[in-house]
Amino acid sequence: MRKTVTGIRIVTLLVAVCISGSLAAPFAGAAYTPPYDTFRIGLYYDSTALPSANLQNVSGYGSGFEFGYFNSNREFISIGADTDETRISMLMDRNMTWYPGDGGGAGEYREGTGGDVVVGCYHIQLSGKYNSFEDANAEAKKYQNAFVRYQSEQFLVLVGQYTTRDAANSAIASQGFNGAEVNAGTSNTIAVTKTGTNTILFEYDMGSTRLGVMPKQINNEKPVTYFRNFQYTGGFQYARMSGLLITVVNMVAVEDYVKGILPYEMNNAWPLEALKAQACCARTYAFSTINRHSSNGFDLCVTEHCQVYRGRGSANERTDQAVEETAGMYITYNGELCQTYYASSNGGASESVENVWNTPLPYLRGVVDPYEAEACGNMSSYRWTITYTQDQITERLRSRGYSCSTIVSIVVTQFTPTGNVLTVTMTDSKGKKLTFSKRGELITALGVPTQRFNIGGASPGDSVIYVNDPAQQVSSSSLYYAIDANGELVALPDEIYAIDASGSVTLVEGERIAPSGGSTTGLVNGVFTIRGTGRGHLVGMSQYGAYSMAKYHDMDFVEIIKFYFTGVEVG
């Protein structure tokens, strides 16, 4: 029975040769056991460190805060100090002024004494020392504007807050505080105030041991806390790393951390199986890079440098379900945790890691991706074009430190086995050649978002035709080629047949587009035109590919992961 298939736009025919070999199957070892139950996530640090940091209980979930520290196992250890205030601020123990937020913002304390609400850093320290917060607080309640300070594992009672040492000494003399002295804190001291006021609730100074703040739990519900307009679970850690501004760290349970990544790294309305694949990648990647910010005193940051983490704000039932149904699951190869890179899209083929960065890894092998393009209609920037005149590309190179005359030729001189660009060579008017390889150099030279592109021709996947090796692009009058039994390249006939899912032979018809005319120099009509597909580094999982596999092919998260990561186990 002969069937005719119409309405097909035939663009590229890739004839691949399968090579069989004796590849050893990876060892399916025991599931990965993480070293910690809690991540330390740097919210603000180094250049983003803060003069003050506000916390606010989310209504209905918490009522006040406890103070203490986190031990070496990342467990919160309460020192018995707490407050029922639902809005508190941690600030440097310096003279600080409250600045209300503009347009309804939360506001902050900044160093100085020029405002209406000033928190002084000089205090009257009474002579007594206490072994418990309860005893010290009972004494503090006898005085106006008194509070408790935790220092060297003892509790002190401090009274008042003054902007100069002389003012504090005058208060000691005038009020008759026998045995009292002025306490101005140290470069490690953090004061806790009732937000927007000069009421000091507590002070903490334990040297290198950082202040821990934990929202109180009521009604057996997990507390959620506002910090800078984001909602976080877990506790918080504060330290004046440089002796001045405050580093803020979120101490968050592993699965809650993944819940705070998922809706920011992948659309929270996407298919569940795609979200589950993303959850496994995010969880695995976090532990595989856990020491990235150890010198800063935490594990990971909240940006793309690690993974985008913003807490609970965009999480929904679907993203939470994806995390909960994959809880404790990691991606391993030969029993070792994988580096599970992922990016928005690969443009039609992922890439082996050594062709993008440096060190090869057996599970990060490039694969031709037949799924992603089905979802590219949802991605406005899937296809991209960059153009340069000869003067523009010459100036770009010179501004980046390259010495060259006018560039007259830009050509791809090496493709990878999956059709991505490995090497580009430029030639200037004096015959000097400059070669750029892999992601970093190609971005520097050309500003390309991916390594999947062509110069002076069509976009990858449109009209580039090759057999076996993407470097061997076919350009002749015939449209489709194959290798015959003798290994010879032959043109296919005008009528091409295929076998459909039911086993019937079908005639493939439709518009057939020949390869676009290229240029031996890449220069067409006086312009170098670079056309490409995809966004990102191309290594590991394509997020749009995962979407397509789950949405259109009913593939589960394990199948998605194993497609993009060669020879891995999920469990």
pLDDT at 515 over 70: no
Tell me the C-alpha distance between 51 and 191, whole Å.
11
User: Which pLDDT belongs to residue 519?
Assistant: 64
Nearest to 226 by CA among 309, 311, 308, 301: 311
C-alpha of 408 from chain center = 39
196: left (phi over 0), alpha (psi -120 to 50) or beta: left
User: Which pLDDT belongs to residue 378?
Assistant: 74
Find out whether 106 and 228 touch, Cβ atoms under 8 Å.
yes
Task: Tell me: do 161 and 68 sit in the same domain.
Answer: yes
* Residue 557 falls inside a structural domain: yes
In this predicted model, what pLDDT tens digit does every residue of 367-383 receive, in sequence order?
999 999 999 877 888 99
Tell me the C-alpha distance between 338 and 289, whole Å.
10
Tell me the C-alpha distance between 165 and 107, whole Å.
28
Among 253, 277, 307, give the residue marking a domain's end.
253
Task: Tell me: do 245 and 135 sit in the same domain.
Answer: yes
User: Which pLDDT belongs to residue 473?
Assistant: 46
Among 253, 282, 302, give the residue marking a domain's end.
253
In this predicted model, what pLDDT tens digit does every residue of 198-217 receive, in sequence order?
999 999 999 889 999 999 98
Place of tokens 């390249």: 489
User: Which pLDDT belongs to residue 507?
Assistant: 59
Task: Tell me: do 109 and 189 sit in the same domain.
Answer: yes
Q: For the packed helices 254-265 and 272-288, what is the interaxial angle rounded to 10 degrees? A: 120
pLDDT at 343 over 90: yes
* Residue 473 falls inside a structural domain: yes
Task: Tell me: do 408 and 340 sit in the same domain.
Answer: no
Task: Tell me: do 421 and 559 sit in the same domain.
Answer: no
Average of per-residue pLDDT across 553-567 = 98
* Residue 21 falls inside a structural domain: no
User: Which pLDDT belongs to residue 35?
Assistant: 95
Find out whether 359 and 353 touch, Cβ atoms under 8 Å.
yes
* Residue 6 falls inside a structural domain: no
In this predicted model, what pLDDT tens digit does every residue of 106-116 receive, in sequence order?
799 999 999 99
Lowest average pLDDT, out of 137-151, 212-226, 452-466, goes to 452-466
Task: Tell me: do 429 and 463 sit in the same domain.
Answer: yes
Task: Tell me: do 548 and 495 sit in the same domain.
Answer: no
Average of per-residue pLDDT across 531-555 = 97
Give me the percent of the chain exceeding a pLDDT of 70. 83
pLDDT-derived band at 487, boundaries 50, 70, 90: low
Task: Tell me: do 195 and 315 sit in the same domain.
Answer: no
Task: Tell me: do 89 and 203 sit in the same domain.
Answer: yes
H helices, E strands: number in the chain: 9, 39
- Give the tokens for residue 368: 């031709």
Task: Tell me: do 283 and 416 sit in the same domain.
Answer: no
* Residue 468 falls inside a structural domain: yes
pLDDT at 238 over 80: yes
Tell me the C-alpha distance between 10 and 480, whole Å.
10
User: Which pLDDT belongs to residue 155?
Assistant: 98
* Residue 276 falls inside a structural domain: yes
* Residue 25 falls inside a structural domain: no
Q: What is the DSSP string of 399-463?
A: HTT---S-EEEEEEEEE-TTS-EEEEEEEETTS-EEEEEHHHHHHHHH--SSS-EEESSPPTTTS
Place of tokens 């407050």: 83
Helix, strand, coil percentages in the chain from 3-state DSSP, rounded to 5: 20, 35, 45
User: Which pLDDT belongs to residue 76?
Assistant: 97
Task: Tell me: do 85 and 195 sit in the same domain.
Answer: yes
N- to C-terminal Cα separation, the chain: 47
User: Which pLDDT belongs to residue 461?
Assistant: 59
Among 253, 280, 309, give the residue marking a domain's end.
253
* Residue 35 falls inside a structural domain: no
User: Which pLDDT belongs to residue 116?
Assistant: 92
Segments forming the whole domain that contains residue 211: 44-253
Average of per-residue pLDDT across 382-405 = 97
User: Which pLDDT belongs to residue 331?
Assistant: 98
H/E segment holding residue 553 = helix 543-553
pLDDT at 516 over 50: no
pLDDT at 16 over 50: no
Sign, Cα dihedral of 155, 161, 165, 170: negative
- Count of the separate structural domains present in the chain: 3
Average of per-residue pLDDT across 85-93 = 96
Other beta carbons within 10 angstroms of residue 160's beta carbon come to 20
Task: Tell me: do 332 and 458 sit in the same domain.
Answer: no
